[in-house]
Amino acid sequence: MRVLVTGCAGFIGAHVVTFALRSGSSVLGIDNLSTDYDVRLKEWRLGRLVGQPGFRFCRADLTDQAALGRTLEGEFRIGEPVGAVIHLAGQVGLRRSLESPSAYYESNVVGTLNLLELCRLRGVPHIVLASTAAVYSVSTRPGAAGAPVLDSTRGAVQPSSDSPYATSKRAAEQLVRLYHETYGIDVVIARLFTVYGPAGHPEMSVFRFVRAIGEGEPVEILGDGTQRRDFTYVEDVVAGLVASTRLAGLHIIDLGTGTLTSVIEVVERLARIMGRTPTIHSSAAHPVDSADCGADVGHACDVVGWKATTSLDVGLRKCVVWFEQNRDWVATLALGAPYLTERTRADR
């Protein structure tokens, strides 16, 4: 099958392309190489994909519908028809969405709508939307190890925070449901839980922790570190996304481990793996962050036959190995708001 992957130079997107190619699919990858974070990381990921048999890259911006159609006109005529879309492009991050909410709505809502129109007009039968655990409201139902998990009912849910990111992803979910109900496109909404792995997003915790420990810098933690997350290794998530392209109808699944681990425990595990004793700096918790966040993995297992298999220590060790192999340039990557302010405003 030929698969269209949006956000192919992103963290999860690049891993999806690699997995799909190894599984025998051909891939058309789309990315606008935006400067929402240091673009050198995206260029590194993309550089490892370009030239692989079965992969074609198209630089395109989903938010520009007319330009998107013109750019992809020829691509849709080359090779076999696109059998499925795995949609990963968009702006991520609860906290940063408070600083530029319009950018999140443009990317996550308008971009998704333009993609859906493309699928409708081109007869693409299946779309997998990468959504987020942030759309869930907190439930008191006991989960893994007796911890509260999130309400994973298949009906409507309220975003778990007031962040533009959560509400924009919920709006994207509603759009793909609409296109399923109106036009019969098969849809899978995959809600992802704290994905980590090599060449990860530089604003995510594991990437920052590994680099800080490796460079002997203070490890910055928001809150006291007792907040727990469902840390899920990227290759497990990717396997679930690709497997979801086989499903007909409408499905909503969680892709996580179902096991919660505190942020401070992740730091401690990384310190042991790296043989370092980090200095930890704590600051006030951010108001959009939830205390605990874990997946309900039963439905994914039932309908896809999917289950996360990578242990946390194995996954963290792979992150450390990647950092050490690429330390010369990864240590120079710009992180956080200063980079975004200087580069994004200049580009606009």
Residues marked as catalytic: 165
Q: Which amino acid is at 288?
A: V
Compute the distance between CA of residue 343 and CA of residue 348 in angstroms, rounded to an integer.
Answer: 9
| Cβ neighbours around 108 below 10 Å, total | 28
DSSP 224: S
In the chain, how many H helices and how many E strands? 14, 16
In the 3-class helix/strand/coil scheme, how is 50-92 assigned residue by residue? CCCCCEEEEECCCCCHHHHHHHHHCHHHCCCCEEEEEECCCCC
Tell me phi and psi for residue 51, to 5 degrees: 100, -10
Compute the distance between CA of residue 202 and CA of residue 315 in angstroms, rounded to an integer.
Answer: 16
The bridge status of strand 292-293 relative to strand 228-229 is: parallel
Contacts with 151 (C-beta within 8 Å, 6 or more apart), sequence order: 136, 137, 138, 139, 141, 157
From 242, 232, 200, 154, select the one nearest 335 (Cα to Cα).
200
* Joined tokens for residue 201: 């997003």
C-alpha to C-alpha distances, 268 to 15, 35, 263, nearest whole angstrom: 27, 32, 9
